[in-house]
Amino acid sequence: MTDVSEIPRTDLVLHVNGAGHRIRVDPRTTLLDVLREHLGLTGAKKGCDHGQCGACTVLLDGRRVNSCLALAVAHQDAEILTIEGLADGERLHPVQEAFLERDAYQCGYCTPGQICSAVGMLAEARAEGTELDADEIRERMSGNLCRCGAYVNIVDAIGDVAAGG
């Protein structure tokens, strides 16, 4: 066993939801664990911890990523946006609104990841100039699993935003 006091720790600064945070962690710590355990931001969920479910999805400089496979120490220069930072004060993000409107969840465990992923995905499609139909949305959202099977409403909710509704 390694004595915990011998584990090298690193000081790092992370920019999350517009605020800087200084923390001291083992360099092995993932961004997901930093968010949840050091910063108290428990919106991003730990589903599989292996990149397979998308529950941990956050936005790094606007791009969606799995925070469970990203080492926090490697992303100190990024603007990190989590579900907690998506709303503009009391005003929900359009994707959040659409999920409410369409009832796009049951237990809600996958929802923060679904919403962050959808925000990133919509930006990707916009940048490429790709029109999003239901099939295209399903394919592009395939990195987000929903154990409750709320897919039909999730796709509808994202479709509403894509169509500007």
Partner 1 sequence: MRPLTYERAGDAGAARAALAQHGRGARYLAGGTNLVDLMKLGVEAPTHLVDVRHLPYDRIDDTEDGGLRIGATVTNNALAADARVRESYPVLSQALLAGASGQLRNLATVGGNLLQRTRCAYFQDVTKPCNKRDPGTGCPAREGDHRNLAILGHSEACVATHPSDMAVALVALGATVHVLGDTGEREIAMPGLHRLPGDEPQRDTVLAPGELITAVQLPGLGRLGVRSHYRKVRDRASYAFAVVSIAAAVDVAADGTIADCRIAFGGLAHVPWRAEAAEARLRGAPATEASFAAAAAADAELAAARPLRDNGFKVPLARNLLVRTLVELSEGTEGAAR
Ligand X SMILES: Cc1cc2nc3c(=O)[nH]c(=O)nc-3n(C[C@H](O)[C@H](O)[C@H](O)COP(=O)(O)OP(=O)(O)OC[C@H]3O[C@@H](n4cnc5c(N)ncnc54)[C@H](O)[C@@H]3O)c2cc1C
Q: CA–CA separation, 98 vs 100, rounded Å?
A: 5
Q: CA–CA separation, 13 vs 73, rounded Å?
A: 8
Selection from partner 1, ligand FES, ligand X, none that 71 binds (CB < 5 to 8 A by kind) is partner 1
64 vs 93 by CB, closer to partner 1: 64
Query: Binding residues for ligand X, per CB under 6 A?
Result: 51-52
- 28 in contact with partner 1 (CB under 8 A): yes
Cα-based angle 7, 11, 13 (whole degrees, multiple of 5): 145
Give, for 79, the enclosing helix (H) or strand (E). strand 79-81
Give, as ranges, the residues between 7 and 26 that touch partner 1 (CB under 8 A).
Answer: 7-8, 10, 26
- 56 in contact with ligand FES (CB under 6 A): yes
- 65 in contact with partner 1 (CB under 8 A): yes
Cβ(84)–Cβ(95) under 8 Å? no
Alpha-carbon dihedral angle through residues 76, 91, 56, 110, given to the nearest 10 degrees: 180
Taking CB under 8 A as the criterion, the residue among 11, 13, 37, 63 binding partner 1 is 63
How many whole angstroms from its chain centre is CA 58?
Answer: 2
41 vs 65 by CB, closer to ligand X: 65
Residues in contact with ligand FES by the rule CB under 6 A? 46-49, 51-56, 66, 68, 105-111, 146-148, 150
